[in-house]
């Protein structure tokens, strides 16, 4: 039944073209929030099927996409639709694989989706742009061996090391290289948090069959940050069986972790020994020369060249995490650009002297206080239930900072911020991460808050 109240139907009439147009408007909103690879992966083959009263029925091409979109992006989708339609709506996702919505010339509106598996892997991270140095050459050699003989020699490949040293990059690089040789391969990449979420929701919805079909049919399984399995008995049990099945089928598994299997607390012994039974390689914090080489490569990727001296200064300013170094490089480039200053060694020294080296150890309460102070909010509003725009951004930023800077788990962050669901936290964190790389204003806010945090 189509809405008949004309005041509500400006955007929507029954024709297929109109639905496509409405869907296009909604996806434009969504595109603001997601990078292109993610957008294509999750929304590239979703369509607006119908609008029934206040319900928008969206088709997803598979149960997997439906599940993931529901889990990660339902709020975003709802907000986007509400913004376009100017009223409250509910989104309902249905699986429709051969939907006839595709028979209209959607190419006019949408970019053609690339093969779905490649989409899932962030195209930024390849073996070609992975800089090899003393700290990671063993891991890189292992990666090449796995690419040559997936599933056979080293299964699983277990990559461990501190945060920001390139574990995810290397794992996805292997994924791309294997896919290049065999584009039809069924690849699944997920964080251990996502696997856990999938498992929990499969139990709740009595859909264990779907979960098993999904993971156990993978021919290449990439699981990031497995340390979050710690203490999750049910998930570990399920993963153990997945693991065995994939191993018996010679399906390659790659696992990353911030520590070795022996150091992961509350991990079942049988999993520990499975993880250690393949090839374990660690990535060390990069030495100075590698840091310089990586900075140079990143600057090139972003279309800038910096004097060697300047690269060295930046490389010397932080030792452990490449992610941090990269963030600093990006900040420098942007700040200098915004002030119309050339990227000379002098200007960079000035910048580095102004920005403190590292955030001091902060409690989550201090972070919340600083954010409230910065945005002039009451703590109770920040953690409260209200969802006004003025509250949502600070709240999301808080989630991001607690996750990225304090390394807290999404579950704990959800609790701290008024008992919110951890999927909300994941979504918020990713959204802010994305905004910080794209949005000037957001970068400024972030730099200022970081300065507040570091002087506290």
Rank residues 131 and 417 by Cβ distance to ligand ADP and give the closer one.
131
Q: Determine if 431 is a binding residue for ligand ADP (CB under 6 A).
A: no
Picked from ligand ADP, Mg ion, none, the partner binding residue 164 (CB below 5 to 8 A depending on kind) is ligand ADP
Q: Which partner from the list ligand ADP, Mg ion, none does 21 bind, CB cut-off 5 to 8 Å by kind?
A: none
**Least CB distance to ligand ADP at residue 380 (A):** 34
- The count of other CB atoms within 10 Å of the CB of residue 419 is 9
Interacting partner of 414 out of ligand ADP, Mg ion, none (Cβ under 5 to 8 A depending on kind) = none
Nearer to ligand ADP, 44 or 156 (CB): 156
Q: DSSP string of 33-72?
A: HS-HHHHHHHHTT-EEEEEETTEEEEEESSHHHHHHHHHH
If one asks whether residue 168 binds Mg ion (CB under 5 A), the answer comes out as: yes
Is 131 an interacting residue with respect to ligand ADP (CB under 6 A)? yes
Alpha helix stretches (DSSP H) within 159-317: 167-181, 192-204, 208-216, 233-248, 269-276, 288-301, 308-317
Number of residues that bind Mg ion (CB under 5 A): 1
Kindly state whether residue 191 participates in binding ligand ADP, applying the rule CB under 6 A. no
Pick one of 130, 158, 195, 239: the residue that binds ligand ADP (CB under 6 A): 130
389 burial (CB, 10 Å; 0-12 / 13-18 / 19+) is exposed
Sequence-separated contacts (24+) of 373-380 with Cβ below 8 Å: 373/452, 374/445, 374/448, 374/449, 374/452
> Tokens representing 3?
């809405």
The position carrying tokens 């018996």 is 248
Candidates 232-240, 307-315, 322-330, 382-390: pick the segment binding ligand ADP (CB under 6 A): 322-330
User: What's the Cα-to-Cα distance from 251 to each of 190, 191, 193, 244, 429, rounded to whole Å?
Assistant: 16, 18, 21, 10, 32
Task: Choose the one of ligand ADP, Mg ion, none that binds residue 349, judging by a C-beta under 5 to 8 angstroms depending on kind.
Answer: none
Nearer to ligand ADP, 18 or 404 (CB): 404
**Cα-to-chain-centroid distance, residue 196:** 16
Q: For ligand ADP, what does the binding mask look like between residues 245 and 274, x meaning CB under 6 A?
A: ------------------------------
Question: For ligand ADP, which residue of 40, 49, 66, 167 counts as binding (CB under 6 A)?
Answer: 167
Site for ligand ADP, rule CB under 6 A: 125, 129-131, 136, 161, 163-169, 294, 297, 322-323, 326
């Amino acid at each position: 039944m189509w809405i008949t109240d004309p005041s509500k139907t400006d955007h929507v009439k029954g024709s297929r073209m109109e639905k496509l147009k409405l869907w296009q408007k909604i996806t434009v909103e969504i595109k603001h929030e997601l990078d292109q690879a993610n957008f294509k992966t999750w929304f590239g083959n979703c369509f607006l099927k119908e609008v029934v009263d206040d319900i928008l029925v969206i088709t997803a091409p598979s149960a997997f996409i439906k599940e993931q979109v529901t889990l990660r992006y339902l709020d975003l989708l709802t907000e986007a639709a509400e913004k376009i339609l100017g009223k409250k709506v509910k989104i309902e996702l249905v699986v429709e694989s051969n939907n006839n919505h595709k028979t209209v010339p959607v190419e006019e509106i949408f970019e053609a989706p690339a093969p779905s598996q490649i989409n899932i892997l962030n195209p930024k991270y390849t073996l070609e742009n992975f800089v090899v140095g003393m700290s990671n050459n063993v891991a890189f050699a292992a990666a090449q061996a796995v690419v040559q003989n997936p599933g056979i020699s080293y299964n699983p490949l277990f990559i461990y090391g501190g945060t920001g040293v390139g574990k995810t990059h290397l794992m996805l690089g292997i994924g791309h290289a294997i896919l290049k040789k065999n584009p039809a391969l069924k690849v699944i990449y997920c964080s251990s948090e996502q696997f856990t979420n999938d498992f929990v929701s499969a139990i709740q919805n009595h859909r264990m069959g779907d979960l098993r079909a999904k993971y156990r049919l993978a021919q290449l399984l990439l699981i990031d940050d497995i340390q979050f399995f710690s203490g999750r008995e049910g998930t570990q049990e399920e993963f153990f069986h997945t693991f065995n099945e994939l191993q018996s089928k010679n399906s390659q598994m790659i696992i990353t972790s911030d520590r070795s299997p022996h150091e992961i607390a509350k991990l079942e012994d049988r999993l520990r020994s499975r993880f250690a039974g393949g090839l374990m390689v660690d990535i060390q914090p990069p030495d100075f020369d590698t840091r310089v080489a990586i900075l140079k490569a990143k600057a090139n990727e972003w279309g800038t060249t910096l004097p060697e001296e300047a690269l060295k200064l930046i490389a010397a300013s932080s030792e452990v995490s490449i992610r941090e170094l990269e963030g600093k490089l990006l900040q420098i480039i942007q700040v200098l650009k915004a002030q119309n200053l050339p990227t000379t060694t002098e200007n960079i020294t000035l910048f580095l002297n102004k920005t403190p080296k590292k955030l001091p150890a902060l409690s989550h309460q201090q972070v919340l206080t600083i954010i409230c102070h910065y945005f002039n909010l009451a703590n109770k509003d920040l953690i409260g239930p209200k969802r006004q725009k003025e509250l949502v951004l600070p709240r999301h930023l808080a989630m991001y900072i607690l996750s990225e800077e304090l390394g807290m788990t999404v579950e704990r962050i959800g609790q701290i911020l008024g008992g919110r669901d951890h999927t909300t936290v994941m979504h918020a964190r990713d959204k802010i991460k994305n905004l910080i790389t794209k949005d000037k204003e957001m970068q400024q806010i972030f730099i200022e808050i970081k300065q507040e945090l570091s002087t506290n």
